[in-house]
Structure 1
Amino acid sequence: DDAGRDLEPVIHKFAVGAPYFQAPGVAGRFTRGYIALPVNDKGKIDDEATFVFLKDAWRVDHPEIEQEGETLRFLNQRKVPFVPTLVCHGDLGQVTKSQEHWKELHPEVKKVPLKTHSLYRVVVKEVGLPLEAFVDSSFQLCQMLACCITAHAEAYKAGIIHRDISAGNILMYKGKKGQWLGLLNDWELSKKVDNESLEGRQPDRTGTWQYMSAHALNDPHRRIVIQDELESFFHVLLYYAIRFLPHNLQDECVGKFLTDYFDDYSIYDGYCICGRAKHDAMVNGFIDLRTYHGNQDDKTKNILKFLWPTPPAKPTPTAGSRGQSPCPSPRSSPSPAERPSASSNSNIPSGRSPSPQFSAIDGSDLTPLNSDDSAPEEEHPINEIISELLTWFRAYYALDTPAQSTKQKARKENISNQFDIEQYLKEFLSRANDNESGSGEDPPEPDLSTAQSEEHKYVKLRKNLDSHTAIIKLFLTTLGSRAWPLKDKGPDKKPEGGYVPPKSAVPSDSMRTSSKRRSMDDIPGGNSPRPTKRSRV
């Protein structure tokens, strides 16, 4: 591997096994990831050798696109926290020839749609786990996301924007103190903030469809800005929360929701654009469940909410048993007939339990939340984060003006790489608050008309997305000052085989209900209606 573009090539050797990750299919960059061990000059593995992660991919070879390793080197030198630590990287000298063959076959076309790719490898120190492996609580999930938002903030201040925030690019790893931290990975598509070239480096969209902002999906030529990236972090949070946490969406609807919100699309002017569910959430400021549940009498059930896990039932002592071990009540443990089965939730594979709020947690290790084992009256704290972020996005989309470049100068001082997340985030907020102008008090509200007042409110809320300070403060405040469930991660509610839509969305004749008014297509026997018994003459 090449240790740097301006240095003599240095060969590094690693022992690897089967790929830990391999991109599916034949289209794409054929990315593979390996857990590796360095090999010394004698072809042996030293006793003190530690595992590293090796990424092998065909990167886009473009003069304005930095190698991922160079970006990591830049971030490491500026001590940006929660990003991979570069070991070595470089091109292997193999370059694709498909684009040359395409020119020969299509000499009349000036612009070649195929890109030149170079076989490339990068090795980093950290071996991370996917974020879905977060151990047992939403607190841990939000804490690791806060790490990655902080990494994004510090990289942005150093002059780099990531541009591909997705579930697969956020990992978890253990820091020096043994606690789980978030790691913002895969900087291959990153770009310098001060690159003001109006022409994109690549002709297609940049990012992962499922987690791109609604604005970015609706405009394939849009420049990715900080507001798009913060929205992508929100989509990652929602993706894992809806899969693993208890909520008021029925388990059998989760597969369809994931498809509607993350995978769906519309067609406009020959382009695929944002699906309706994601776009509506950003515009309305809430996630509507009426498509899945119908219109509920209790209006709170029409909006997605996350719930405290249901604690296990406690045995009830029988009369006269004082001083003895209490006997379990006949109702303390549901009978096999009462327990929900896999067949009662068609999209839940056998062996996978429904989420806690819809089932009796028989034998659960959930710790009682308080003295009477009941959930606290306040809402799940993750609702505070999600609701507040949706309010900001609603304001941002309500004004619906093209995002302006929010270029910032690189920080003059280096930031110490702390591994105590709470301490680090407090220091980050302290620095951010010191850099903000003003006394910190909001100016008095002007006397405006109703329409002007609404717009003024949106302008004020939208400012929360102009930098990372407000969102980090939201995470830190909610993590540090709210009661969180100790263990609210449940089984994965995402169908193992993916969501399979019904064979037909139109009910069969035997399932149709009659109505007083029927269309012409409902009447058998032709295009004209049949005469009634009492026809006019």
Structure 2
Amino acid sequence: MAVYMSFNTFLSTFFPSPGKENLGEPERRLHLSHNAVQPLGEAKDEHELAVTFAQLVNSSTKYGATLCPGFNVALGKSRWDPNTDGPPKVAGAFYPADDTPNDGLPHWGKQRLLIDFTVGGPAADPFDDEDWSAAARKRADRYIAHALAHQQRTALYTLLVNGSSIRLARWDRSGVIYTEAMDYVESPAALRDVLWAFSRLSCEAQGLDPTATPLSCEDEDYQLMDEFAKPRETDLAEGEGEETQIPKASKKAPRVFAYVRRMFAESIQDEGPRYRLLVPKKNGRDGHAFLVGTPTFVAPGAVGRATRGYVALDLEGGRFVFLKDTWLPQCEDNLDQMLEGKALKKLNKAEVKNVPTLVAHGVLDQLTQTAYYWGARNGRPKFQRAYASYTEGLTGRPASVTTSRSYGTSYSARSGGSGSRPASLRGFRHYRIVVEEVCMPLHSFRTGKQLLSVVKDCVDAHCEAYKTRSRILHCDIGDGNILILPTLFKVRSGLYTVKWKGVLTDWELAKCMPYIGGELPSPRRRRPTVTGSWHSFAAAHALDNPYALAQVDNELESFLHVLHYNGLRYLRHECTDVPQTIAAHFGEHILEDGRVQDEHALFPYPLPRCQPLKRESMREGVLHVANPPRWDGGLPSGGSELRAAQEKQGAYEFYVVDKDGFSNMHPLNKVLRTAMRWVSARYQADEARILPLLRAPYARAMETHEPLRVLMDEALAKQWPDDDRVGDQLEQECVILGEEDKSLVEVQSETQESVGEAVADPWLIQEEGRTERRVQEREKPVSEEPPCKRLKRDEPIVYRPSVFPSFMRGLRLSGRRSVRA
């Protein structure tokens, strides 16, 4: 992730060299004396250091010259990100002199060079190798990710001012290139030449994306976005089942669903940055132009694909479209991976339903450079080193380089330092794709039947894609890649109804599985991926065997995990500990001592491993819950011996219930339990090393799509409750309705009073051959029966803060909120 480069080499590589003809002309650069920088080294806190630094850089001579011509430093008065914990930290940035803010707010869209002020010494230096600097690395990663999410950039330069030392760094999607810490108080020429050289860089050399043009209030495109954001009478309601008459549409007033225009209006409010993005065409000379505001989705992290989604305005078509901006890894060993645009083009040509419709796509001529210079450190192309040396200060004394083992333990493994085997650093290329459909996220479903119907549509799309001549597998089934698209269906003349359909999107990891001599797939091994939320919803077999071939049964198992996750989070059920259960099935790998492994501790990042509870659930065919409740003092009222035995063994199962607490009346349980029996039979056959042709039919049911599709169709044909959604149970506690007292009771502790009568599920009695689950005996407060009667979403609820923020970032949950300036 990180590559060390000397200070002189960094300047000569990324900043323009002054040249021999300019070395004898010191008037081009101001003279910076020791007396001028001495107050910086004597600063007592970050605020004093930042204010003194800004005054030094912004002050001009009598001729109007400054240390960084054309740029000024502006400081932020408060915490740079309101969502972060900890005390406020002073941060600043270089802005163009004619566009420097003076309100004390970080205008992220205008920043050119970020400055991080600190006086904490090695502990506050993210590139120091001491153990206590790990917190500084995490803070730096969040800081850079926040800045990159608000700008269209190919790279970002940062300046760390740590007391009397400075350190330069260049960030891109492959990692970071950093220098040693230079003592600018002892050698002021270092600080002077850095600022002067940066001022001479062009916008593209400073890391700004040349294919993204920022818009100002005076631009016509800016005003056009405001005009399209206003609601119109021709907008259609997106509620399912609503009958409406289609109004006449024209090119100036196209027919649009109301939620699409609302999403676009939200992306351009609060005076956030707006851009005119270009997507290259076939000829490579010009591009297709789209207008975008704030992204509706931002992938977390500063390094990686950095996927961002926009509701964009197509200038040529005068319509709303969805634009995805991402960085694709350059993998020489991943030959079976194709561009998402090419995959969609094949699917559209084959008329596969429930997949996005391609508008435009193209790879931009932009590559990350960190991986190249990492290769230079490990015997690959060398970089030049020609710049004025700072081995002597202005007074002729040797200039000390204040670096505490500049690339040591934590970062040596990342950069291939001494004492470690050089790690593989991946390069990335910039890619944009545009599709016609602007969809709603899956969590917008209103009933359990809608959830299953949307997932069923995506299973159909997955089946049709695999049956095409190219045999395309999606290979990235997850909660964020299954979307909802309201669609119009004609009822009678002039009258239409709205139906919610599922759309399977994000085909960027799709692979073709060609035939070789019959039914055998290609022997090429797929490279495992740790990006996105693939590992959260991946099959247990795929996580335990990351280099195995992509298989249909693993893909179908991922659809079951999506149903399980959304059922746990939004539907009424008898699971008493939703956050722990979700983390145990979909979260990070938890160590033996209960700690979550630090993703910054090792590089390359370790491959995601299957959660023990997920693996056990797939093998036994039971969706176990975490921390199953146990009651002291005998059976609960209305309980059964079977239920008490399950509680004693710890085999408590997740199932959805209706408002009366009955689980056998909910069709979703039949889908999950039947499919889990198929999955369990498959895993047990794998353990017994039974050949596929010799397995029982139910052990091979997941090898094709038809059994699961028929199972889902049968469930959708049954009677469903229309109030089984109770709200988001991951970030809130639901309200319980008692049997004797119908008043609302707030859940404030683990002890709950007077709840509804528990009803045994007769389907469970017919189950045989369940493996007993080992459970650690621990003391738990005495509780009553599990809550089976939760109120609907619009009734009073009691909120509590999330207990798994890192897991939510892994599932892209934090990226769903819009990014504001």
**Structure 1 position 81, deviation (Å):** 0.5
Question: 1: CA distance between counterparts of 2:342 and 2:488?
Answer: 25
Q: Which runs of no fewer than 5 residues in structure 1 stay unpaired? A: 41-45, 311-356, 358-374, 407-454, 512-537
**Structure 1 position 199, deviation (Å):** 4.3
Q: Could you say which residue in structure 1 is the equivalent of 2:675?
A: 389
Q: Does 1:55 align with 2:324?
A: yes
Say which of 437, 440, 443 aligns to 1:126: 437
Question: 1: CA distance between counterparts of 2:625 and 2:432?
Answer: 44
Q: Does 1:171 align with 2:512?
A: no
Question: 2: CA distance between counterparts of 1:267 and 1:215?
Answer: 20
Q: Could you say which residue in structure 2 is the equivalent of 1:412?
A: none
* CA shift in 2, pair 1:274/1:204, >3 Å: same
Say which of 693, 701, 714 aligns to 1:477: 714
* CA shift in 2, pair 1:283/1:169, >3 Å: same
Range that drifts further, 226-235 or 213-222: 213-222
**Structure 1 position 401, deviation (Å):** 6.0
Say which of 420, 427, 452 aligns to 1:116: 427
Letter in 1 for 2:655: K
CA contact (8 A) 1:29 1:59 kept: yes
Q: Could you say which residue in structure 2 is the equivalent of 1:35?
A: 311
Say which of 353, 368, 387 aligns to 1:81: 353
Question: 2: CA distance between counterparts of 1:140 and 1:57?
Answer: 30
Question: 1: CA distance between counterparts of 2:691 and 2:297?
Answer: 36
SS at match of 1:174: strand
Letter in 2 for 1:74: K
**Structure 1 position 491, deviation (Å):** 1.1
Output one character per residue of 1:63-86: Cα deviation in whole Å (capped at 9) or x when no partner.
Answer: 733211111011000001100000
CA contact (8 A) 2:580 2:626 kept: no
Q: Could you say which residue in structure 2 is the equivalent of 1:225?
A: 551
Letter in 2 for 1:73: K
Higher relative contact order (CA 8 A, sep 6+): 1
CA contact (8 A) 1:267 1:273 kept: no
Q: Could you say which residue in structure 1 is the equivalent of 2:513?
A: 193
**Structure 1 position 261, deviation (Å):** 1.1
Question: 2: CA distance between counterparts of 1:403 and 1:79?
Answer: 39
CA contact (8 A) 2:326 2:431 kept: yes
Question: 2: CA distance between counterparts of 1:187 and 1:307?
Answer: 35
**Structure 1 position 202, deviation (Å):** 3.2
* CA shift in 2, pair 1:507/1:380, >3 Å: closer
**Structure 1 position 176, deviation (Å):** 3.2
Q: Could you say which residue in structure 2 is the equivalent of 1:487?
A: 723
* CA shift in 2, pair 1:150/1:111, >3 Å: farther
SS at match of 2:433: strand
CA contact (8 A) 2:292 2:311 kept: yes
SS at match of 1:24: coil
**Structure 1 position 294, deviation (Å):** 2.9
Say which of 444, 447, 464 aligns to 1:137: 447
Q: Could you say which residue in structure 2 is the equivalent of 1:149?
A: 459
Range that drifts further, 23-32 or 238-247: 23-32
SS at match of 1:34: strand
Q: Could you say which residue in structure 2 is the equivalent of 1:18?
A: 294
Q: Does 1:180 align with 2:492?
A: no
Q: Which has the larger radius of gyration?
A: 2
Output one character per residue of 1:19-58: Cα deviation in whole Å (capped at 9) or x when no partner.
Answer: 1111122122111110001124xxxxx7xx2210000011
Q: Does 1:265 align with 2:537?
A: no
Question: 2: CA distance between counterparts of 1:488 and 1:256?
Answer: 22
SS at match of 2:365: strand
SS at match of 1:490: coil
> How many residue pairs were aligned?
376
CA contact (8 A) 2:352 2:465 kept: yes
**What TM-score do the two structures reach when normalised by structure 2?**
0.43
Letter in 1 for 2:280: D
Q: Could you say which residue in structure 1 is the equivalent of 2:534?
A: 208
SS at match of 1:51: strand
CA contact (8 A) 2:530 2:608 kept: no
Question: 2: CA distance between counterparts of 1:88 and 1:16?
Answer: 15
Question: 2: CA distance between counterparts of 1:168 and 1:131?
Answer: 7
**Structure 1 position 475, deviation (Å):** 0.2
Question: 2: CA distance between counterparts of 1:197 and 1:26?
Answer: 35
Say which of 575, 580, 600 aligns to 1:256: 580
Superposition pairs of residues 117-516 of structure 1, within 5 angstroms? 117-134=428-445, 136-158=446-468, 159-177=471-489, 178-194=498-514, 196-200=521-525, 202=527, 204=529, 208-250=534-576, 253-265=577-589, 272-289=608-625, 291-294=627-630, 297=635, 298=640, 299-300=642-643, 302-310=652-660, 378-400=664-686, 459-480=696-717, 482-495=718-731
Output one character per residue of 1:289-319: Cα deviation in whole Å (capped at 9) or x when no partner.
Answer: 4732137954347322210124xxxxxxxxx
SS at match of 2:627: helix
SS at match of 1:292: coil
Q: Which runs of no fewer than 5 residues in structure 2 stay unpaired? A: 1-278, 381-415, 490-497, 516-520, 593-605, 734-749, 751-775, 782-821
- Using the aligned pairs only, state the percent identity: 31
Q: Could you say which residue in structure 2 is the equivalent of 1:515?
A: none
CA contact (8 A) 2:312 2:323 kept: yes
**Structure 1 position 266, deviation (Å):** 6.6
Please, what is the CA RMSD of the aligned residues? 3.3
**Structure 1 position 287, deviation (Å):** 2.1
CA contact (8 A) 1:225 1:405 kept: no
Would you tell me which structure has more strand in proportion to its own residues? 2
Question: 2: CA distance between counterparts of 1:127 and 1:150?
Answer: 20
SS at match of 1:274: coil
Q: Does 1:96 align with 2:365?
A: no
CA contact (8 A) 1:266 1:272 kept: no
Letter in 1 for 2:456: A
Question: 1: CA distance between counterparts of 2:691 and 2:437?
Answer: 33
Output one character per residue of 1:339-382: Cα deviation in whole Å (capped at 9) or x when no partner.
Answer: xxxxxxxxxxxxxxxxxx6xxxxxxxxxxxxxxxxx7x942111
Question: 2: CA distance between counterparts of 1:116 and 1:107?
Answer: 17
Letter in 2 for 1:276: P
Output one character per residue of 1:509-531: Cα deviation in whole Å (capped at 9) or x when no partner.
Answer: xx9xxxxxxxxxxxxxxxxxxxx
Letter in 2 for 1:53: F
